């Protein structure tokens, strides 16, 4: 029963409250080693056939000597099916119609050979050995039933393995496509951020504020070194994301000074939770553009993170004008901010997340994100 090779895929494990220090045991598929699976099924199948035929013969009143032809029958069937497995494996590589025709002819020839040998073996139970028409017809019926059933099982298992292999390939391609999309979404942020920051540095240079321009360049270098060190599809801890935001706000603080008032409220229990890198930076940038920039006295930007059971709740809000005027459809100037975050959350968590935009009760604009508490990289196949 030769079958196409099927690579093993580790069983997906659900991220939880325990770090992934010790790998979970992975169940190895039975058909991972097709050769071992074939010999196991072949031995188990014909052993079971021998036992059933032997029990049936003894229960019908036959002597133990009658078991000898049954043993011969099982051995002959075992050998014939070995030959069939080799021929079927060759026929499967041919075109469909020739393969089917050769399979039918081979099965018919195998049934005839099996029936003749079976009838001849059982003829020794009588005083006159030989093959009679009645005995041959009975043996043909048994041979056809056994070999046709074995052939059906052979092709069914191989079809199952082919389907499983194709599913594995599709899942692998989906994971690759998901990773590529995550990288694309992540890389969308850098050009937009760099444009704004370099524009600010250029303004400082034109105003001959070289010390402030040098300081901003130094902080920009630190920010880029920190962010570019991570893979675009990597997940970082809440603590690392907050450090990134603080680096970014230090750069913006050079522009707005006291008009920009950041405030962080981070639950220590949630600091080890993971989320896509630079997920919150567009929200803070959005708040700076729509809350700090248009107001003479600036605004406060509040970033809050808390752990609620198995969920991490993240909020980014400001004390700006809120949802009015031109801010009815909040987004970054390049149009990638809010949409980018939605896509990245969908890619990372599938439906297992919440993303809401709302007006704050005391005025201003807020975004709330809820994601599962995870200490390791999420399983993107599940997502």
pLDDT (tens digit per residue) in 345-361 = 888 898 999 999 988 88
Q: What is the DSSP letter of 364?
A: S
- DSSP strands (E only) in the chain: 235-237, 260-266, 274-276, 299-308, 311-318, 354-359, 365-372
Where does the pLDDT of residue 24 fall: very low under 50, low under 70, confident under 90, or very high at 90 and above? very low
Lowest mean pLDDT among 154-168, 178-192, 357-371: 178-192
Average pLDDT of span 218-239: 76
Highest mean pLDDT among 59-73, 92-106, 311-325: 92-106
241-to-35, 274, 285, 318, 338 alpha-carbon distances in Å: 50, 9, 14, 19, 18
For residue 376, the model assigns a pLDDT of: 72
Mean pLDDT rounded to a whole number for the chain: 79
Res 97 pLDDT > 80:
yes
Q: Please give the residue that has the higher pLDDT: either 362 or 86.
A: 86
Cβ(297)–Cβ(331) under 8 Å?
no
Q: How far apart are CA 233 and CA 383, in angstroms?
A: 14
pLDDT tens, residue by residue, 128-163? 566 777 788 888 988 999 999 999 999 999 898 888
For 232-263, the pLDDT digits (tens) are 567 889 999 998 889 888 888 877 889 999 99
| Helices and strands, number each (H, E), in the chain | 8, 7
């Amino acid at each position: 029963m030769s079958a196409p090779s099927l690579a093993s895929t580790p069983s997906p494990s659900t991220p939880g409250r325990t770090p992934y220090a010790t790998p979970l045991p992975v169940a190895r598929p039975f058909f991972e080693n097709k050769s071992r699976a074939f010999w196991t099924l072949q031995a188990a199948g014909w052993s079971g056939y021998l036992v059933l035929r032997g029990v049936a013969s003894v229960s019908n009143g036959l002597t133990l000597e009658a078991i000898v032809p049954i043993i011969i029958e099982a051995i002959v069937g075992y050998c014939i099916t070995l030959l069939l497995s080799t021929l079927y494996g060759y026929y499967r590589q041919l075109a469909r119609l020739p393969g089917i025709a050769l399979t039918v002819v081979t099965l018919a020839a195998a049934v005839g050979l099996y029936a003749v040998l079976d009838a001849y073996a059982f003829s020794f139970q009588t005083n006159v050995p030989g093959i009679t028409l009645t005995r041959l017809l009975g043996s043909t019926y048994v041979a056809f039933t056994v070999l046709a059933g074995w052939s059906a099982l052979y092709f069914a298992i191989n079809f199952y393995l082919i389907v499983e292999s194709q599913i594995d390939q599709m899942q692998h391609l989906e994971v690759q496509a998901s990773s590529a999309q995550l990288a694309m979404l992540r890389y969308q942020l850098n050009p937009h951020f760099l444009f704004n920051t370099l524009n600010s540095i250029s303004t400082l240079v034109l105003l001959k504020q070289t010390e402030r321009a040098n300081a901003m360049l130094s902080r920009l270098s630190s920010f880029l070194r920190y962010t570019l060190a991570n893979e675009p599809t990597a997940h970082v801890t809440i603590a690392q994301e907050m450090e990134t935001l603080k680096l970014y706000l230090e750069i913006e603080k050079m522009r707005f000074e006291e008009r920009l008032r950041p405030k962080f409220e981070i639950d220590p229990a949630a600091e080890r939770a993971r989320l896509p890198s630079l997920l919150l930076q567009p929200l803070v940038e959005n708040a700076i553009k729509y809350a700090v920039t248009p107001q003479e006295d600036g605004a406060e930007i509040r970033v809050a993170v808390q752990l609620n059971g198995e969920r991490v709740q993240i909020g980014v809000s400001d004390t700006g004008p809120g949802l009015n005027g031109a801010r009815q459809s909040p987004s970054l100037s390049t149009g990638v901010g809010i949409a980018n975050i939605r896509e990245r959350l969908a890619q990372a968590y599938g439906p297992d997340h919440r993303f809401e935009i709302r007006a704050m009760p005391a005025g201003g604009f807020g975004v709330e994100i809820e994601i599962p508490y995870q200490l390791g990289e999420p399983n993107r196949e599940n997502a």
